[in-house]
């Protein structure tokens, strides 16, 4: 019977890692024998387990090993990673190792080398000579013919997520996305975390959807930007267009943001707003020419907060600043991620999932949406570390700015 020895180290019981690995083995049709186990005596101690995986077929063994190495198990046999050349530009070797968003090391030349730019669903590409070996995550479309790509699953060590024991409010939310919990406490905690992120010299990324403008909550986001609480903004054509529309015409999608009445000519207004920015050449130029005199995008230009506006198939116009090519837009977003310590995602399913996929598990990720399905989807797609808050984006931003005394 094909078998393999694996080991696990760290907070493997209270983080659920051991349970998860044994589960995955059983679920995939294999069996296990725990050969050695040491449980940490208290919450600070690490635990250790050495487990033999027995599988009915080599294929099942491969499947199990693929799964459990991604969960934190490491092969005991101590072989280094296997490398294979990419067969063509944008094409990986068939058996490439697909990364998680957890800190990862690879064993190469007898040494554990950390992998840079940890990101989910990438390949690991190794470069440099023996002495200056480096490993980094690379997206499929960026790989070049001949790049040395890690294949299989030997020589890979993934650090499983530890329990967060201090951040109680956060932890508590992490277990649930229910709207039936006291959210103002979580909002207070988010405010604290935002301040702590800046104190730690990290950046705050804000990812926002157009509902922020439709609900007349744009001024809250603008205030966050003006007071320095947003270091990068990811949004789409819609948020920017409706923000500019609201400043040019006082409406968003045809609803007056002053009186709340449905003026019903939103499409015209929002098209005209886009048209004027196209005429000016860009958002920054429209600000300079005083076409745009207020609002979220105005604040970004004035405060020099970089923004990435990514296109979408339902865009009108679009605004000249929108990056219409998707891999290009993804790479533009990716370029802003180093240094991000906290990502706040409000009212946008698509951009939340897109951004979540790019973030390292070490980035605090908070996803706010009135629809519980969005948060569920985010987790289903692999952003397990996201804290979901099922609430109203408008009233959330209002409360958050108050907490931050913006």
**Whose Cβ is closer to a copy of itself: residue 117's or residue 312's?**
312
Minimum gap (Å) between residue 53 Cβ and a copy of itself: 11
x/- map, 138-177, a copy of itself, by CB under 8 A: --xx-----------------------x--xx-xxx-xxx
| Residue 80 · residue 153 · CB < 8 Å | no
Minimum gap (Å) between residue 201 Cβ and a copy of itself: 28
**How many Cα neighbours within 13 Å face the side chain of 373?**
2
Backbone angles phi, psi at 200, to 5 degrees: -80, 5
- Is residue 58 part of the contact set for a copy of itself (CB under 8 A)? no
- Is residue 206 part of the contact set for a copy of itself (CB under 8 A)? no
Q: How far apart are CA 43 and CA 163, in angstroms?
A: 10
Could you tell me which residues come within 8 angstroms of residue 331 by beta carbon, excluding any fewer than 6 positions away?
142
Among 326, 335, 338, 339, binds a copy of itself (CB under 8 A): 326
- Choose one: 183-191, 192-200, 223-231, 286-294; the region binding a copy of itself (CB under 8 A): 183-191
- Is residue 59 part of the contact set for a copy of itself (CB under 8 A)? no
Minimum gap (Å) between residue 316 Cβ and a copy of itself: 6
Q: How far apart are CA 85 and CA 96, in angstroms?
A: 10
- Is residue 124 part of the contact set for a copy of itself (CB under 8 A)? no
| Total residues belonging to the chain | 406
Minimum gap (Å) between residue 198 Cβ and a copy of itself: 23
| Residue 86 · residue 145 · CB < 8 Å | yes
- Choose one: 2-10, 74-82, 286-294, 346-354; the region binding a copy of itself (CB under 8 A): 346-354
Minimum gap (Å) between residue 96 Cβ and a copy of itself: 7
Segment 241 to 300, residues that bind a copy of itself, using CB under 8 A: 253, 255, 257, 259-265, 267-268, 271-272, 274-276, 278-279
- Is residue 304 part of the contact set for a copy of itself (CB under 8 A)? no
**Whose Cβ is closer to a copy of itself: residue 326's or residue 335's?**
326
**Whose Cβ is closer to a copy of itself: residue 228's or residue 326's?**
326
Beta pairing class for 340-346 and 364-369: parallel
- Is residue 335 part of the contact set for a copy of itself (CB under 8 A)? no
Number of chain positions touching a copy of itself (CB under 8 A)? 123
Minimum gap (Å) between residue 320 Cβ and a copy of itself: 9
224-234: burial string, b at 16+ Cβ within 10 Å, e else = bbbeebbbbbb
**Whose Cβ is closer to a copy of itself: residue 103's or residue 372's?**
372
| Residue 122 · residue 137 · CB < 8 Å | yes
Among 357, 362, 384, 403, binds a copy of itself (CB under 8 A): 357
118-147: burial string, b at 16+ Cβ within 10 Å, e else = bbbebbbbbeeeeeeeebbbbbeebbeeeb
- What count of other Cβ atoms lies within 10 Å of the Cβ of residue 11? 20
Return the closest-CA partner of residue 242 out of 215, 260, 262: 215
């Amino acid at each position: 019977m094909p078998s393999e020895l694996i080991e696990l180290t760290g907070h493997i019981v209270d983080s659920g890692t051991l349970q998860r690995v044994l589960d995955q083995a059983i679920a995939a049709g294999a069996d296990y024998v725990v050969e050695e186990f040491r449980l940490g005596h208290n919450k600070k101690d690490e635990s250790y387990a050495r487990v033999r995986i027995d599988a009915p077929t080599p294929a099942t063994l491969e499947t199990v090993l693929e799964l459990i190495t991604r969960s934190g198990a490491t092969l005991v046999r101590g072989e280094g990673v296997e490398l294979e050349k990419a067969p063509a530009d944008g094409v990986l070797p068939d058996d490439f190792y697909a990364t998680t968003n957890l800190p990862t090391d690879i064993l190469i030349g007898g040494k554990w080398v950390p992998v840079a730019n940890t990101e989910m669903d990438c390949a690991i590409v190794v470069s440099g000579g023996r002495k200056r070996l480096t490993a980094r995550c690379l997206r499929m479309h960026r790989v070049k013919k001949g790049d040395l790509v890690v294949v299989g699953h030997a020589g890979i060590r993934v650090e499983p997520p530890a329990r967060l024991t201090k951040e109680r409010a956060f932890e508590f939310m992490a277990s649930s996305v229910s709207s039936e919990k006291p959210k103002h406490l979580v909002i207070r905690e988010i405010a604290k975390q935002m301040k702590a992120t800046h104190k730690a010299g990290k950046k705050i990324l804000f990812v926002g959807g157009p509902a922020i403008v439709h609900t007349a909550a744009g001024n809250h986001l603008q205030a966050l930007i003006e007071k320095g609480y947003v270091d990068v903004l990811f949004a789409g054509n819609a948020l920017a267009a409706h923000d500019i529309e609201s400043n040019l015409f006082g409406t968003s999608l045809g609803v007056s943001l002053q009186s709340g009445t449905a003026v019903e000519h939103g499409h015209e207004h929002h098209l005209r707003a886009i048209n004027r920015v196209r005429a000016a050449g860009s958002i920054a130029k429209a600000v300079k020419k005083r076409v745009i005199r207020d609002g979220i995008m105005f604040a970004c230009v004035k405060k020099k907060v970089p923004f990435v506006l990514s296109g979408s198939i339902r865009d009108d116009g679009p605004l000249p600043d929108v990056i219409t090519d998707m891999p290009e837009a993804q790479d533009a977003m990716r370029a802003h991620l180093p240094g991000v310590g906290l990502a706040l995602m409000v009212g946008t399913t698509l951009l939340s999932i897109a951004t979540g996929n790019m973030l390292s598990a070490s980035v605090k990720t908070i996803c706010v949406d009135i629809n519980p399905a969005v948060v569920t989807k985010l987790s289903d797609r692999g952003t397990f570390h996201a804290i979901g808050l099922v609430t109203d984006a408008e009233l959330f931003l209002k409360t958050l700015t108050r907490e931050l005394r913006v």
